[in-house]
Amino acid sequence: MPESTALLTLYDETMRRNASVAGCAREQSAHTCRYTTATGSQRYIMWHDFTDDLADAVIDEELASVRGAAKVLMWKLYAHDVAREALRSALIARSFEENDHSTLMASSVDAVLAALSNDDGSAKSAESTLDVRELTMPASLDAYQQIWDDVWPDAPNARYVDDYRDRLVQRDPGIVFFAGFTASNEPVSSGYMFHAPGAPYALLCGGTTKAAWRRRRAYTSLLRARALRAQARGASYLAVEASPESQPILARLGFMPLSTLAFYEKHID
């Protein structure tokens, strides 16, 4: 089996179909796996298995199920999924918003750390001048709100940050937060990691940097901090849902593209 195929199979099984998602309760229906945040802010459909002709009925079933349980229904749809086109058409027909597409990329933790150490000749070259810190207190996530509001001023950033604060309150072991700060203590770069204890994959998310600090190794500095933590926690592989801007950096560090994906989102009345 080619390496990329094996990595994708492992990802589908451990990070979608049978995932342990930080801060979320899991439900298995006849055709889907649902993950609902503890705050009821949103429900994710991470996995589905049905034929094209059932797409309409399954979506209607999920819309009925989510009412009263979550305020937003998000369907994570990958290019390699079964019934993809039928499902995408049915979601759009029901006024789900199609968000930006990204590329699922993966690599072994050891390969990424080796590439970061060899990048331009030394491990130090992979570090920016930022002070990278782990954020462990709910109030410390004010840094995320500040960074994300600067980079994505029109996004529902508070909704996500509030969920993450709750996960810190609950001492959820499945998510780890980092941020990079300047010498004047300004937060300028973020990056967190989903990793259920014992899981083979760690999913790196939220990697973004204020415009003034781009091309100054902020991204790779946050990446290295998360890779080291993933290694310490026993993860074997790293995955990233990469933006077009991140893909060249990740490819240089040994990440392979496995699939593409998009979120389809609907607010529930």
Quick: pLDDT tens for 127-153. 568 999 999 999 999 999 999 999 999
Q: What is the mean pLDDT of residues 7-36?
A: 94
3-state secondary structure of 30: coil
Rg (CA), the chain: 18
pLDDT given at position 125: 44
Backbone angles phi, psi at 95, to 5 degrees: 70, 25
pTM beyond 0.85, yes or no: yes
What is the rounded average pLDDT of the residues 64-78? 97
Instruction: Please give the domain boundaries of the chain with CATH numbers for all domains.
Output: 3-102 (no CATH), 104-259 (3.40.630.30)
Q: Say if strands 237-242 and 201-209 run parallel, antiparallel, or are unpaired.
A: parallel
* Mean predicted confidence (pLDDT) in 2-30: 92
The residues pairing with 189 across neighbouring beta strands, listed in sequence order, are 180, 209
Name the residue among 142, 156, 137, 148 with its Cα closest to residue 211: 148
- Please count the CA atoms within 13 angstroms of the CA of 224 that sit on its side-chain side: 23
Tell me: the pLDDT tens digits for 170-192? 999 999 999 999 999 999 999 99
**pLDDT higher than threshold 90 for residue 124:** no
- Across the range 194-220, mean pLDDT stands at 93
